[in-house]
Amino acid sequence: MTLDNIKEEINKAETIVILTHESPDGDAIGSSLAFYIALKQMGKKVDVIIPEYSRTFNFLPGANEIKKESDITEYDVALVLDCSDTKRLSTWVNYFDDAKVKISIDHHGSNKMFADYNFVNPAAPANAQILITVLEFLEIDITKEIGTCLLTGIITDTGGFKYSGVTQETFEFTAGLLSKGVNVSEVYKKVLQIKTRTNFELTKLVIDRMEFLEDNKITFTYITEDDLNSVSAEIGDHEGLVEIGRDIEGVEVSIFLRQVEDGYKASLRSNEYVNVSDVCMIFGGGGHIRAAGCVIPGSLEHAKEKIINQVKMYL
Ligand code: 5GP
Ligand code: MN
């Protein structure tokens, strides 16, 4: 069984590196820090390498120990969390490539099964929820600190327990965290409720530009690099903007484009029936049925036309 192999490899390993996807969200960071703390508890030499992440997550236990890079070139184990594709490991993929053993734990339906051992469950509403099982299997005590990190992943990826993927375990686990001293309400407020001022300024822009297409079934909006610079945006300040269109009555697909180095990063959300992961896979991306992304090279006009035409085919 994959979990037995994972346990054996982790037990054997002396050095372990934890990696996650670029533009990491709360599930990516929460999963990484939860496992980081757990492996330290086991006495491992472990590094978590996340070159850039939103300041929203600075409050998490272990966040001040996150590294941008490492002197170690060849780890015994690379543990990749919440990441469906090595392409999303961007420029730090070398730590994955050079590791002796590669392990992936993920919940994306589009996962490419790229590691030596892949523990992937697309039914899990958050990668952090899979880690409950994995950490228990490794006989790790879920402390207040680990619980806080796992809860962050669960809260972000379930939109605060509201998406259809939540299960009985989601609530039972969260309820159990209360007795461990985890401040559920504070975590909720920090990761979901409080927005940065910059995010608010970007919200005004994307609302102002929102277009309604196909009988109001599609919303489209965008931000350019100039927009991001004009409000001095930092990494993560665009989080949540794609949800504005999604949450309007009658909308099936919300499309949000954000200019990046080589074109436009598309974020898609759907409500009832469009599988946006399938749409994004056509452009080399992926994700989940109701939340997915991809990069489309070229100009705004080009990216806009391509993504809208593709979404129309799935309506
Ligand atoms: P977001 O729109 O919040 O960036 O991403 C939504 C979901 O799609 C997340 O689960 C994220 O990991 C996934 N995703 C976003 N962009 C990409 C991409 O370029 N490639 C793949 N494979 N998944 C992506
Ligand atoms: Mn996730």
Are residues 64 and 203 located together in one domain of the fold? no
Are residues 27 and 149 located together in one domain of the fold? yes
**Do the beta carbons of residue 157 and residue 123 sit within 8 Å?**
no
Q: What's the whole-number average pLDDT of the chain?
A: 97
The last residue of one of the domains, among 193, 224, 259, is 193
Question: pLDDT for 117-128, tens place per residue?
Answer: 999 999 999 999
Residue 258 is predicted with a pLDDT of 98
Are residues 181 and 234 located together in one domain of the fold? no
Are residues 173 and 204 located together in one domain of the fold? no
Question: pLDDT for 12-57, tens place per residue?
Answer: 999 999 999 999 999 999 999 999 999 999 999 999 999 999 999 9
Residue 165 is predicted with a pLDDT of 92
Are residues 248 and 179 located together in one domain of the fold? no
The last residue of one of the domains, among 162, 193, 224, is 193
Q: Which residue has the higher pLDDT, 1 or 111?
A: 111
Report which ligand 1 atom has the smallest distance to the Cα of 108.
10
Nearest bound ligand to CA 110? 1
Report which ligand 1 atom has the smallest distance to the Cα of 84.
22
Question: For residue 90, what pLDDT band results from cuts at 50, 70 and 90?
Answer: very high
CATH number at residue 211: 3.10.310.30
Q: What is the mean pLDDT of residues 95-123?
A: 97
Are residues 50 and 73 located together in one domain of the fold? yes
Question: pLDDT for 151-208, tens place per residue?
Answer: 999 999 999 999 999 999 999 999 999 999 999 999 999 999 999 999 999 999 999 9
**Which residue has the CA at smallest separation from atom 11 of ligand 1?**
287
Q: Could you list the residue range(s) of the whole structural domain that residue 303 is in?
A: 197-312
Are residues 303 and 186 located together in one domain of the fold? no
Whole-structure pTM value? 0.96
Give me the torsion for CA of 243, 249, 250, 255, rounded to 10°. -20
Q: What is the mean pLDDT of residues 110-120?
A: 97
Residue 48 is predicted with a pLDDT of 98
Nearest bound ligand to CA 82? 2
Are residues 187 and 205 located together in one domain of the fold? no
Q: Quote the percentage of the chain above a pLDDT of 90.
A: 99
Report which ligand 1 atom has the smallest distance to the Cα of 110.
22
CATH number at residue 171: 3.90.1640.10
Residue 227 is predicted with a pLDDT of 98
**Which residue has the CA at smallest separation from atom 7 of ligand 1?**
292
Are residues 159 and 283 located together in one domain of the fold? no
pLDDT at 106 over 90: yes
Q: What is the mean pLDDT of residues 262-287?
A: 97
For residue 285, the one-letter residue type is G
Are residues 56 and 123 located together in one domain of the fold? yes
Question: For residue 1, what pLDDT band results from cuts at 50, 70 and 90?
Answer: confident
Look-up of token digits 């995010």: 199
Which residues surround ligand 1 with Cβ inside 6 Å?
21, 84-85, 88, 108, 110, 242, 267, 285-288, 291-295
Report which ligand 1 atom has the smallest distance to the Cα of 25.
3
**Which residue has the CA at smallest separation from atom 22 of ligand 1?**
286
Are residues 298 and 272 located together in one domain of the fold? yes
The last residue of one of the domains, among 170, 193, 216, is 193
